[in-house]
Structure 1
Amino acid sequence: MAQNSNSNFKFSPWMSIGLVIVIFLTINLFSTGFDLSNPAPTTLSKFYQYLDKNQVEKVVFTNTKATVYLKKAALTDKAHDKVKNDVLGKLNTKGPHYFTEIGDLKTFQENLQKASSEGKLTDYEKEPESMWGEIISMLLPILLLVGLWVFMMRRMSGGSGGGGGQIFSIGKSKAKLFDEKNDTRVTFENVAGLEGAKEEIQEIVEFLKTPEKYTSIGGKIPKGALLVGPPGTGKTLLAKAVAGEAKVPFFSLSGSDFVEMFVGVGASRVRDLFKQAKEKSPSIIFIDEIDAVGRARGKNNMTGANDERENTLNQLLTEMDGFGTNSNVIVLAATNRADVLDKALLRAGRFDRQIYVDLPDIRERKEIFEVHLKPLKKSEELDTEFLAKQTPGFSGADIANVCNEAALIAARKDKKAVDKQDFLDAVDRIIGGLEKKNKIVTPAEKRAIAIHEAGHATVSWMLEHAAPLVKVTIVPRGQSLGAAWYLPEERLIVRPDQMLDEMCATMGGRAAEKVIFNEISTGALSDLEKVTRQARAMVTIYGLNDKLGNITYYDSTGQSDYNFSKPYSEETAKVIDTEIYKLIEEQYQRAIHILETNKEKLTQLADILIEKEVIFKDDLETIFGKRPFDKEEEIPAAE
Structure 2
Amino acid sequence: MVGSKTNRVVLYVSASLVVILILFAMLRDNAEPITLANATKILENKSVKSVISSQDYIYLKTDKEIYKIASSQVSPKMFTNYEVSIKNSSNIVIYFLFLVLFLGFAALLYRWFQKNEYFNVAKADSGSYGSKQEGSRPIESIKSDVTFDDIGGISDVKSELEEIIDFMKKPKRYKSFGARMPRGVLLVGPPGVGKTMIAKAVANAAGVPFYYQSGASFVQIYVGMGAKRVHELFAAAKNSAPAIIFIDEIDAVGKKRDGQRSDEREATLNQLLTEMDGFENSSGIIVIAATNKIDVLDSALLRAGRFDRRIFVELPTNKERALILSKYLQKVPNEVDVKTIANMTVGFNGASLAALVNEASLLAIRQHDFQVTIDHFDHVKDKVMFGKKKLQILSEMQKRFRVTYQAAKVVCATYYDLPFEKILLSNEKLTPSTDEPLIKHELESRVKMLLAGIVACNIKYNEHASSAKADLDEAKEIILKMIEEYGMGSTLIAKESEKEILINRLYNETKSLLESLQSVIKRVEDVLNERENISKLEVKKYINEVL
Q: What is the TM-score normalised by the length of structure 2? A: 0.57
Q: 1:464 to 1:148 in 2, by over 3 A?
A: closer
- Measure, in 1, the Cα distance between the counterparts of 2:214 and 2:331: 29
Q: 1:339 aligns with which of 287, 292, 295?
A: 295
Does 2:10 align with 1:22? no
Does 2:141 align with 1:177? yes
> Match of 2:154, as an amino acid?
L
What corresponds to 1:425 in structure 2?
379
Report the 3-state secondary structure (helix = DSSP H, G, I; strand = E; otherwise coil) of the residue aligned with 2:304. coil
Superposition pairs of residues 407-422 of structure 1, within 5 angstroms: 407-422=361-376
What corresponds to 2:241 in structure 1?
281
Q: 2:231 aligns with which of 256, 260, 271?
A: 271
> Match of 2:195, as an amino acid?
K
- Measure, in 2, the Cα distance between the counterparts of 1:173 and 1:500: 60
> Match of 1:240, as an amino acid?
K
Q: Provide the identity percentage.
A: 36
Would the aligned equivalents of 1:173 and 1:269 in 2 still touch at CA under 8 Å? no
Report the 3-state secondary structure (helix = DSSP H, G, I; strand = E; otherwise coil) of the residue aligned with 2:334. coil
What corresponds to 1:308 in structure 2?
264
What corresponds to 1:618 in structure 2?
none
Would the aligned equivalents of 1:14 and 1:147 in 2 still touch at CA under 8 Å? no
Q: 1:289 to 1:18 in 2, by over 3 A?
A: same
- Unaligned runs of at least 5 residues, structure 2: 1-7, 31-62, 66-107, 389-393, 405-423, 431-448, 486-493, 508-524, 533-547
Q: 1:215 to 1:326 in 2, by over 3 A?
A: same
Q: 1:211 aligns with which of 138, 149, 171?
A: 171
What corresponds to 1:365 in structure 2?
321
What corresponds to 2:305 in structure 1?
349
What corresponds to 1:240 in structure 2?
200
What corresponds to 1:221 in structure 2?
181
How far does the alpha carbon of each residue in 1:544-579 deviate from its partner, in whole angstroms, 9 at most, with x for none?
99x8697899xxxxxxxxxxxxxxxx9989x89xx9
Would you say how many aligned residue pairs link Structure 1 and Structure 2? 372
Report the 3-state secondary structure (helix = DSSP H, G, I; strand = E; otherwise coil) of the residue aligned with 1:294. coil
Q: 1:157 to 1:220 in 2, by over 3 A?
A: farther
- Measure, in 1, the Cα distance between the counterparts of 2:159 and 2:484: 35
What corresponds to 1:321 in structure 2?
277
Q: 2:352 aligns with which of 379, 387, 398?
A: 398
- Measure, in 1, the Cα distance between the counterparts of 2:255 and 2:527: 47
> Match of 1:213, as an amino acid?
R
Report the 3-state secondary structure (helix = DSSP H, G, I; strand = E; otherwise coil) of the residue aligned with 2:257. coil
Superposition pairs of residues 36-115 of structure 1, within 5 angstroms: none
User: How far apart are residue 377 of structure 1 and its match?
Assistant: 1.3
Report the 3-state secondary structure (helix = DSSP H, G, I; strand = E; otherwise coil) of the residue aligned with 2:372. coil
Does 2:160 align with 1:200? yes
> Match of 1:393, as an amino acid?
G
User: How far apart are residue 240 of structure 1 and its match?
Assistant: 1.6
User: How far apart are residue 188 of structure 1 and its match?
Assistant: 1.0
Q: 1:249 aligns with which of 206, 209, 214?
A: 209
> Match of 1:264, as an amino acid?
G
Would the aligned equivalents of 1:156 and 1:169 in 2 still touch at CA under 8 Å? no
> Match of 1:23, as an amino acid?
I
Q: 1:457 to 1:259 in 2, by over 3 A?
A: closer
What corresponds to 1:497 in structure 2?
455
Q: 1:433 to 1:209 in 2, by over 3 A?
A: closer
Q: Give 1 or 2 for the bigger CA radius of gyration.
A: 1
> Match of 2:155, as an amino acid?
E
- Measure, in 1, the Cα distance between the counterparts of 2:133 and 2:29: 48
Would the aligned equivalents of 1:17 and 1:147 in 2 still touch at CA under 8 Å? no
- Measure, in 2, the Cα distance between the counterparts of 1:13 and 1:424: 68
User: How far apart are residue 32 of structure 1 and its match?
Assistant: 11
Report the 3-state secondary structure (helix = DSSP H, G, I; strand = E; otherwise coil) of the residue aligned with 2:146. coil
What corresponds to 2:333 in structure 1?
377
How far does the alpha carbon of each residue in 1:317-338 deviate from its partner, in whole angstroms, 9 at most, with x for none?
0110112111111111111111
> Match of 1:357, as an amino acid?
V
How far does the alpha carbon of each residue in 1:89-147 deviate from its partner, in whole angstroms, 9 at most, with x for none?
xxxxx799xxxxxxxxxxxxxxxxxxxxxxxxxxxxxxxxxxxxxxxxxxxxxxx9999
Report the 3-state secondary structure (helix = DSSP H, G, I; strand = E; otherwise coil) of the residue aligned with 2:253. helix
What corresponds to 2:286 in structure 1?
330
User: As a proportion of its length, which structure holds more helix?
Assistant: 2
Report the 3-state secondary structure (helix = DSSP H, G, I; strand = E; otherwise coil) of the residue aligned with 1:371. helix
Q: What is the TM-score normalised by the length of structure 1? A: 0.49
User: How far apart are residue 26 of structure 1 and its match?
Assistant: 3.3
Report the 3-state secondary structure (helix = DSSP H, G, I; strand = E; otherwise coil) of the residue aligned with 2:282. helix
Report the 3-state secondary structure (helix = DSSP H, G, I; strand = E; otherwise coil) of the residue aligned with 2:290. strand
Superposition pairs of residues 452-463 of structure 1, within 5 angstroms: none
Q: 1:291 aligns with which of 251, 268, 278?
A: 251
How far does the alpha carbon of each residue in 1:465-505 deviate from its partner, in whole angstroms, 9 at most, with x for none?
4789xxxxxxxxxxxxxxxxxxx966868611355599987
User: How far apart are residue 205 of structure 1 and its match?
Assistant: 1.9
How far does the alpha carbon of each residue in 1:199-223 deviate from its partner, in whole angstroms, 9 at most, with x for none?
2223222211110111101111111
